[in-house]
Structure 1
């Protein structure tokens, strides 16, 4: 279930990469990483988990070594991870096994040599490395590690000679070149360091020394010289997958985002290059206000499915969304050209998207009295005009609060609840201004309706300092009068308590209250949960509009955030069933409108499915919808074929709808 930072970020199969022990210039950082108090891992949802080293070693790391005993690439990666985490004393058997099974002798002999050195077995390490040289030749990696053996013994002259041979064999081997250059700096200062890099840069096939020279130029604000070296390396095309990370990082650290965009953008391939390069490019897009390019790159990076970088991607997505929000302005529209219609919802918004799973929810008896809820209007000062704009908190709550009140009536009364919302066909929801004319609505609602509710909402102030005002009007359809009016004011912090208070007054006014919810798994959200709950209802409404072709897919502002939201709720409140159903509902809607980001959610969704099955959650029975969303045909077909003859007809019919 858990993935380490090392393996998740590397993006490599390990087929060609090899290791060296850390050079003196890097050993301090390596030791501090290996001896940190807690080890970071990531679960299937991309959440960071801190684990004590002993627990990681005993319960995860050592069992994983045994599981990968016959897989050279996986075993190699685990050994490197164990070295980083300070488990060298446990690694000799695994490293010896790697020598037996690995088809890359340079890699296997290098890593065994490192393990032996870490355990103080210098003679055995030398013998191993020389055996590797006999098989693979005098490669830069093997020679660098051999030089380290000599250095550990205090044989400095032999170490220097061997290290220079390593640099000549491979001038782009980071540990070897870095160690050699540091030695020259210690002996001759900065001038010696630069001469060493220039000497290495003259070797055939060299490119890493050029990048370090370019870093020096950047740090001394000689951007023209740095750019020339970068162009030389990039046009040569011989750099490795980590080189672009180094270049983009150096450019970013020295305030050159435009050069990141110019030089790295054309050559970056997220499937080949280090993912940190992508993050550096996203930062450059943010710094340069290139929102379109940034969001396009975000889609490519999200598709990699690398848990440790997901929260960084989410932060960039939020930043780009905020930039769009700041740039967006309302545009006047001619109301005469708009096709405005009313859509009716006859169930809670998160029941939609589940392929009419009526067998899952208790149904109201036929002929139940009805109560309707209209979208709230905006409190105005009397001046208003029609315009098209992106959804804001006011618009979202104008729909989310009536959605919640309708849901409350559905679950806590014997009324059948309906919601009514004005939309522009092909555009999105309408936020009207001014108090609704209840008298004009009596002839619109169905004849069986007992009551309907209208409302107004407004806010003064910004964000956390905002002061909300809500007014509800309860209209009696039999007497055709306004039977009651409720209102209240609240800060952002107290908005949840106000909504619950208005709900309680409303249910008391209409009567037919239930002591238990219609579905036993349904809890009433608490005041601290209500703001989160309302945000999800508003987002679920937008997903429904797009899935039903009432609004364009381009109108989804922050689609990933909308799909993530109920999953985060489910993880925060694992004992609650409703967020799980909300999440699966969102997947169903995303499948309906053919979301391009849906494939990114497969692993998270399957992990949630495993957990709900283990917990015997009511969401377990919706597994076929998850399988369908991610094209898991064999699982879906097997489930359908395994249905017993006495399976509920409604469930079997639902399976057919899902499959089709």
Structure 2
């Protein structure tokens, strides 16, 4: 992420009228849309047209308002030709003359039916009073036909109605700039000196900063901020300019007092975080990160996570420097997290009712976190921990094998070895565990194949302790997009050796998303509890991904358990995150995602997390569950509801 996102635009206001943009998808490209749970999905263009667009047009054929929304949605996805009938239908039904003209005009332009578009706009401007949008769209089609002179006049008419029109301003000055750069500079400067022309002032300010005229740039930015009433776009660019030029007084006086995250958006928030980083103000930085996490800015997760880490490290150094005891030194030694139950069990009030309680039998197996060899790579390190954790979950539920998983960590950080475990190390483990029969571990290395495509070399092996012999289970190269296959491969090879898993069990994962979440879950599990509230964006990203995983595999009970445990953890550490995902969670409940044998018993916990006593009480009356282990477990949550 570049420091100070200078030229990033904030989202357009909801009430803006449709204008013409340039991108058109091909048939093979993917389209993003929100499903019934409010989650982003991606499908091919042709599939979206047949499954979603055509049925929506048919359903709303006689409802012009809904049909208009359907067409706008299609246009936003750069789907035009297939909306023809809907556009013509709107034009025949709609009493809003401007709206129906723009919809049909955009359709004509995007399908290169320029003569029809010109006739349409010419007719409208003859009989009606044109708006800024009508002039802009009419000018656009004239540009397409090469009539730049008339297009320029129409763009100017649009600017006379709204001098800060984003589309008209850009197009008008682009025409002039292509014709003559000196004329462009003169007209831009003249325009910027008029009243209420904040867009021109903003554009001219950027030119001044680039040319080194900082004082003039500051003056123009200040005027643009005030004239626009601190518009999100102006705030984003101004905060970027002040930050890039180390104008911290201006930042403090003209940005911070007027900043509202909900109004001004993610880009300005990120610029302010950069300012706090330079000022080493970790308290305000962490406060803003946490506050911003309640907004639906999931696409910025990695950027906010990075700032969270920076500010948290500042805080840790500060706490360590001012600590009067040896708290930090006490936890700096190497340790092993040892388990034979799923990760979600911890911190979830020990739900023994959902565990495999069968007696464990020999052979005795130790699973070690893998090594990540070669150059440092995040994916490789992730796999080195995630694959053993995945194996742990399968062995817990699908076998009665007597095993333990050991994951190395130091202090509050996972420790992933970067060298292969030696035979001497295996012998040392055996000497300390006399009843041990096997050690399962492996190595992961990022590499490139002969076509220079990224691959991951995965080796998984068993070490036979009595015979001091290494048995290779897997030695395979996986493309990054096919890493999910390692799950099926390792369980198959493991079962071929031990014959302890029901042969009807099958790993059905078709992507790596669930596998790659074990690593961040493990990191949060061993995190210092005092600092978990400062990990808001890590929790936010994890929650979003866990919801997607459940929706992609609605029959998988354990994924729903993991989601519920995560909601409970977030409720205790970062409750501000809950509201954003509440519609999706409640939608899952109402649509029966949590109606299966195990998951229906999780619903009361979800209502508890959301402090929803009405739904909690009503649900408990219908649940009719008498398992004493479950009753004891759920009673542990009652204090959580006010």
Q: Shared fold by TM > 0.5?
A: yes
Match of 1:382 in 2: none
CA distance in 1, matches of 2:340, 2:86: 65
String of CA shifts for 1:425-473, please: whole Å, max 9, x gaps.
xxx9979xxxxxxxxxxxxxxxxxxxxxxxxx98765xxx686857546
User: 5+ residue gaps in structure 1?
Assistant: 1-8, 22-29, 377-392, 422-427, 432-456, 477-481, 507-513
| 1:139–1:170 Cα contact (<8 Å) kept | no
Q: Hey, what's the Cα distance between the residues in 1 that align with 2:508 and 2:32?
A: 35
Q: Say which of 301, 315, 321 aligns to 1:313.
A: 301
For 1:301 and 1:153, the matched residues in 2 are separated by 46
The alignment status of 1:220 with 2:211, answered yes or no, reads yes
Per-residue Cα deviation, 1:36-79 (whole angstroms, up to 9, x for no partner): 85144155799875533322223223444566775849935842
Deviation at 1:195, TM superposition (A): 2.0
Matched, 1:171 2:149: no
Deviation, structure 1 residue 153: 7.3
The yes-or-no answer on 1:351 pairing with 2:345 is yes
Q: Quick one: structure 1 residues 524 and 60, their matched pair in 2 at CA, closer, same or farther if it must change by over 3 Å?
A: closer
SS at match of 1:51: strand
User: What is the aligned partner in structure 2 of residue 14 from structure 1?
Assistant: 14
| 1:61 matched to 2:60 | no
Distance 1:357 1:208, change over 3 A: same
SS in 2 for 1:642: helix
**Deviation sequence 1:552-599 (CA, Å, 0-9, x none):** 645769444665676687689888654442332222233345633333
The structure-2 alpha-carbon separation of the partners of 1:246 and 1:52, relative to structure 1 and needing over 3 Å to count, comes to farther
Question: Contact 1:349/1:403 (CA < 8 Å) preserved in 2?
Answer: no
Distance 1:564 1:220, change over 3 A: same
Post-superposition offset of 1:515: 7.1
Q: Confirm whether residue 85 of structure 1 aligns to residue 81 of structure 2.
A: no
- In structure 2, stretches of 5+ residues that fail to align are 1-8, 332-336, 369-379, 446-455, 469-497
More moved, 600-609 vs 120-129: 600-609
Mapped pair 1:538 → 2:522: yes
Q: What are the within-5 Å matches in structure 2 for residues 114-129 of structure 1?
A: 114-118=106-110, 119=113, 120-129=116-125
Q: CA deviation digits over 1:324-371, x for unaligned, max 9?
A: 5599557684489989xxx99996552345555444344458xx999x
Is 1:97 the counterpart of 2:90? The answer is yes
Deviations 1:479-527 (A, max 9, x none): xxx6669889965659997796589999xxxxxxx97579x989899xx
* Equivalent in 7, 18, 29 of residue 38 of structure 1: 29
How many Å apart are 1:88 and its aligned residue?
Answer: 4.9
Q: CA 1:311–1:206 in structure 2 vs 1: closer, same or farther (change >3 Å)?
A: closer
For 2:464 and 2:255, how far apart are their aligned partners in 1? 56
Q: How far off is 1:87 after superposition? A: 0.5
**Alignment correspondent of 1:628:** 608
Equivalent residue runs for 1:561-640 within 5 Å: 563=543, 577-593=557-573, 595-602=575-582, 605=585, 613=593, 618-631=598-611, 635-640=615-620
Q: Deviations over 1:516-550 (max 9, x none)?
A: 579x989899xx9999687366346447x85xxxx
Coordinate RMSD, CA, aligned: 6.1
Count of paired positions: 562
CA–CA distance in 2 between the matches of 1:581 and 1:504? 38
Comparing 160-169 with 351-360, greater Cα deviation is found at: 351-360
- Please list the CA deviations of residues 10-50 of structure 1 after superposition, one character each: whole Å capped at 9, or x if unmatched: 856733x12444xxxxxxxx434455851441557998755
CA deviation map 1:588-644 (0-9, x unaligned):
233345633333443564577689839958445423323432345555444334345
Q: 1:227-271: per-residue Cα shift (whole Å, max 9, x none)?
A: 22111111234464444345556778x777969955544434333
**Displacement after TM superposition at 1:199 (Å):** 3.0
Which stretch of structure 1 is more off in the superposition, 146-155 or 227-236?
146-155
The more displaced of 193-202 and 556-565 is: 556-565
- Per the alignment, residue 451 of structure 1 pairs with none
- Give matches, 1:243-642, under 5 Å: 243-247=234-238, 263-273=254-264, 275-279=266-270, 293-306=284-297, 310-318=298-306, 320-321=308-309, 324-325=312-313, 333-334=325-326, 349-354=343-348, 357-363=351-357, 412-413=399-400, 471-472=428-429, 501=463, 535=519, 538-539=522-523, 541-542=525-526, 546=529, 553-554=532-533, 558-560=538-540, 563=543, 577-593=557-573, 595-602=575-582, 605=585, 613=593, 618-631=598-611, 635-642=615-622
Q: Which residue number in structure 2 is paired with residue 141 of structure 1?
A: 133
What's 1:52 paired with? 44
Written as runs of structure 1 = structure 2, the 5 A alignment for 1:20-31 is: 20-21=19-20, 30-31=21-22
